A = this chain, B = another copy of it.
Amino acid sequence: MSKDTPPTVPTHTTKQRRSSDQVTLSQVAKAAGVSPITASRALNHPDKVSDSARDSVLAAVEKLGYVPNLLAGSLASSRSQLIAVIVPSLINTVFVEVIQGLQETLEAEGYQILLGNTDYDLDREYQLVRTFLGWSCSALVTAGLRHNKACHTLLTNCGHPIMEVMELGEGMDLNVGLDHVAAGRCMANHLIDKGYRHIVYVGARLSQDYRASMRFEGHEAVLKGAGLDAPLVELDTLGSLQAGAEGLAQVLTQYPDTQAIHFANDDLAAGALLAAQRQGLNIPNDIAIAGFNGLPLGQHLTPQLTTILSPRKEMGRLAAKELIRRLSGKNVYRRQHDVGFKLQLGEST
């Protein structure tokens, strides 16, 4: 309640600044009858201090309600327990799940996440990287391997571990992801195996979601290889379920003899499936539908959605583990980690 203003009346001796009435380590030390540095050690390296010293420091900490100033500590040691995580969007559950995996692992090790959202803007990413480096974050996690020139330079030269997640590839440092081109191939192969010949790929904002266009590449290669056309429908609709519904409509008018639609993700596919049902279409007889991600929703639809399961949370966990490994000075055997994917057969194809 009472957020009254602090005493703005300094004693008129020297330059006093201590506006914040925060308890400092020195005060703890004094209360414990030791020097500040001993108090510091008691908290950070308990084994390098006598039992009695440690006990009295801990007691003083408790009594005074001391909260360490992490800013000061990090500045002095030029190390921080901050890890920057930069994602293009939070609307897409996929990134949230990766963050979950990261967070659960990193928080357990005492790291805090500095979260940044680029909104699919690479210049914004660069700005965020600058800011986060200014916070002396001890590592950075970025979604994806694509950055603008300045950002790339900054990251490669910053001296901190960099973890690029989502897609597998030659990154600047560490990388955890999966092969999206292969995933696209996988689904295309499945659809061909099922006997479909008129197959359309539907994605939304592919220039932003370039991983979806990597999947299209794989899809296209397989179809072309089988002597088939590989038409692409690109949508610009916000809201994925809605976009899926529109994708379906567009395909039905633009390519009326389509037998199967390969959607760039499960949200689109689910939107199409639900819209199709509302229109009385039979899936997969009238039209087959496939997605990507393996979201729970797909398994609760009737028919169940055929999709590709990507281990998103696991990706976050693994990325965090490898980062921690690196930060604790251990050997990093592999810079690249393929988390793989799995074709999940449903009834929609």
Contacts and interface: CB of A to CB of B under 8 A. Distances in A.
A245 interface: yes
Interface stretch (A27-35, A130-138, A217-225): A130-138
Copies of this protein, total? 2
Interface stretch (A44-52, A69-77, A186-194): A69-77
A281 to B, nearest CB: 12
Given A112-B135, A136-B71, A241 B300 contact: yes
Contact of A103 (B113, B115, B297): B115
A20 interface: yes
A182 interface: no
Interface in A95-138: 96, 99-100, 103-104, 107, 112-117, 130-136
A131 B115 contact: no
A297 B135 CA distance: 39
A12 interface: no
A90 interface: yes
A296 B241 contact: yes
A21, A70, A134 pick with most chain B CB within 10 angstroms: A134
Interface in A132-152: 132-136
Interface string A9-48: 0000000010111000000000000000000000000000
B67 A75 contact: no
A245 B116 CA distance: 36
A134 to B, nearest CB: 4
Residue among A6, A20, A71 with the highest chain B CB neighbour number at 10 A: A71
Nearest to A73: B134
B67 A130 contact: yes
A159 interface: yes
Contact of A93 (B93, B114, B133, B241): B93
B116 A112 contact: yes
A100 B107 contact: no
Contacts of A63: none
Contacts of A71: 71, 74-75, 80, 134-136
A242 B296 contact: yes
A68 interface: yes
Contact of A302 (B6, B75, B103, B278): B278
A78 interface: yes
Contact of A6 (B133, B159, B241): B159
Contact of A70 (B91, B134, B277): B134
A156 interface: yes
- Output the residue of A75, A80, A302 with the most chain B CB within 10 A: A75
A136 B156 CA distance: 29
A236 interface: no
Contacts of A275: 300
Interface string A206-247: 000000000000000000000000000000000101100100
Given A241-B296, A300-B241, A90 B96 contact: yes
Given A67-B130, A270-B300, 6 more contacts: A19-B78, A67-B134, A69-B134, A70-B134, A90-B100, A274-B300
Closest A-B pairs by Cβ, 5 of them? A70-B134, A71-B75, A115-B115, A241-B300, A274-B300
9 contacts: A3-B161, A67-B130, A68-B134, A70-B134, A70-B135, A96-B96, A104-B117, A107-B116, A112-B114
